[in-house]
């Protein structure tokens, strides 16, 4: 099993990555009290696949763990489900020494992570991410929270887990669309931070598409190393961490304008990365050949590269509403080659429209 250390002083923790490694969970747990009741939070689909197995592993090791299963999907990452979770925590007797285990994708991780952060002002929190997106991104770095009717992720907390256990063999049951959503975030790490990793993604496409565990372990490990490095320098996103938003300013606009129905988050980010690569080429921070490689890689992994027929004016209006824009000018992450990037302020609407044709 591989381990990636997230260095955050007293809040430091390890991410363990392996194949068929769920049974290793009890020996990795430190600070989880066997005397207090803990809660395993999962969604219906993931619990039906792996819930009983994880409960059995924890019970056999002497931990008192009960399950709370939510319906699943972005629609239940809200205050109503959070309220239900608090109720479960109280009626099942969780106390200040209890732990919340999450078993699921980013929805379960964000929601139950926020429940752990806020219940009795913070209890134990262990992440067992089961989607590719959760293993490479959402389970690492401590962002937790829920959506409000007025916007996504508007309520939340930075709350670091005690450990993350990513078992890549769980990814075998992930739907193809969800797997590709995770791959968009994987490609993002190559573009913003590591050209050698980008080369790896180009060279080993077929093995990665086939979900070969050896390649998946490398991917999850490298992405977690990069995220750990970024987060340990900028836990609360006052600078460097913003690089993880590559493609997201465009992506959020595509998602919002299509009512969050046409594209998964990863698909919208993939199209957003195509737009920023083309913008970087126009602004001279990336060569045409480099931008072409980004577009080709996205396309080769079966991700979309075009947003369809949304009007450019609507996209720009939506991007202006992004919290990173000021005085009509838009701030976003632009690649400065393959494997490096920077936050660029003052991008004009004309420049944006020039890549939306
Ligand atoms: P998700 O949790 O909805 O999971 C996607 C689907 O895959 C669900 O239907 C789920 O049941 C299913 N699934 C998960 N693991 C499975 C498995 N092993 N086998 C079969 N099916 C499985 O969505 P997601 O893409 O994992 O995460 C998206 C969420 O993550 C969003 O809410 C987003 O805001 C959040 N996010 C958070 C961060 C962060 O830093 N906290 C970063 C990125 C995204």
> What does the pLDDT look like over 55-78, one tens digit per residue?
999 999 999 999 999 999 999 999
133: left (phi over 0), alpha (psi -120 to 50) or beta: alpha
Give residue-wise pLDDT tens across range 210-220. Answer: 999 999 999 99
14 is catalytic: no
Catalytic residue among 252, 278, 293, 318: 252
Ligand 1, closest atom to CA 170? 18
265 is catalytic: yes
Ligand 1, closest atom to CA 45? 11
Give residue-wise pLDDT tens across range 69-120. Answer: 999 999 999 999 999 999 999 999 999 999 999 999 999 999 999 999 999 9
Please say whether the dihedral angle defined by the alpha carbons of residues 232, 234, 240 and 245, taken in this order, is positive or negative: positive
Contacts by 27-33, CB closer than 8 A, 24 or more apart: 28/163, 28/165, 29/63, 29/126, 29/162, 29/163, 30/162, 31/124, 31/162, 32/63, 32/99, 32/124, 32/126, 32/162, 33/97, 33/98, 33/99, 33/124
What is the pLDDT, as a whole number, of residue 326?
62
What is the pLDDT, as a whole number, of residue 225?
98
pTM given for the model = 0.96
- Ligand 1, from 104, 131, 132: best to mutate by most atoms within 8 Å of Cβ? 131
Q: Within 10 Å of residue 91's Cβ, how many Cβ atoms?
A: 9
The answer, yes or no, to whether residue 187 has pLDDT greater than 70, is yes
The answer, yes or no, to whether residue 324 has pLDDT greater than 70, is no
The answer, yes or no, to whether residue 323 has pLDDT greater than 70, is no
Residue carrying the six token digits 């099942």: 92
């Amino acid at each position: 099993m591989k381990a990636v250390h997230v260095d955050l002083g007293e809040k430091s923790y390890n991410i363990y990555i392996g194949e068929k490694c769920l049974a290793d969970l009890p020996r990795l747990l430190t600070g989880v009290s066997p005397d207090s009741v803990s809660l395993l939070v999962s969604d219906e689909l993931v619990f039906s696949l792996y819930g009983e197995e994880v409960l059995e592993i924890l019970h056999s090791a002497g931990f008192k763990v009960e399950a709370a299963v939510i319906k699943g999907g972005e629609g239940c990452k809200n205050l109503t489900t959070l309220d239900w979770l608090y109720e479960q925590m109280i009626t099942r007797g969780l106390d200040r020494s209890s732990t919340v285990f999450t078993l699921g994708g980013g929805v379960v991780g964000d929601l139950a992570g926020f429940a752990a952060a806020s219940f009795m002002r913070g209890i134990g929190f262990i992440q067992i991410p089961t989607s590719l997106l959760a293993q490479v991104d959402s389970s690492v770095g401590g962002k937790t929270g829920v959506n409000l009717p007025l916007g996504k992720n508007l309520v939340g907390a930075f709350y670091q887990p005690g450990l993350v256990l990513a078992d890549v063999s769980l990814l075998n049951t992930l739907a193809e669309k969800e797997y590709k959503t995770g791959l968009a975030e994987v490609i993002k790490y190559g573009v913003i931070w590591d050209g050698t990793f980008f080369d790896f993604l180009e060279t080993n496409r077929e093995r990665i598409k086939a979900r070969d565990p050896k390649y998946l372990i490398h991917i999850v490990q490298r992405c977690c190393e990069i995220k750990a490095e970024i987060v340990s320098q900028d836990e609360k996103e006052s600078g460097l961490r913003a690089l993880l938003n590559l493609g997201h300013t465009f992506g959020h606009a595509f998602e919002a304008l299509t009512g969050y129905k046409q594209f998964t988050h990863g698909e919208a980010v993939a199209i957003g990365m195509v737009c920023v690569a083309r913008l970087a080429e126009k602004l001279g921070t990336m060569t045409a050949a480099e931008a072409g490689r980004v577009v080709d890689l996205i396309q080769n992994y079966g991700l979309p590269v075009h947003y369809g027929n949304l009007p450019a004016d609507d996209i720009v209006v939506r991007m202006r509403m992004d919290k990173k824009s000021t005085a009509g000018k838009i701030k976003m992450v632009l690649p400065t080659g393959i494997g490096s990037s920077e936050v660029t302020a003052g991008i004009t609407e004309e420049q944006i429209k020039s890549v939306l044709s």
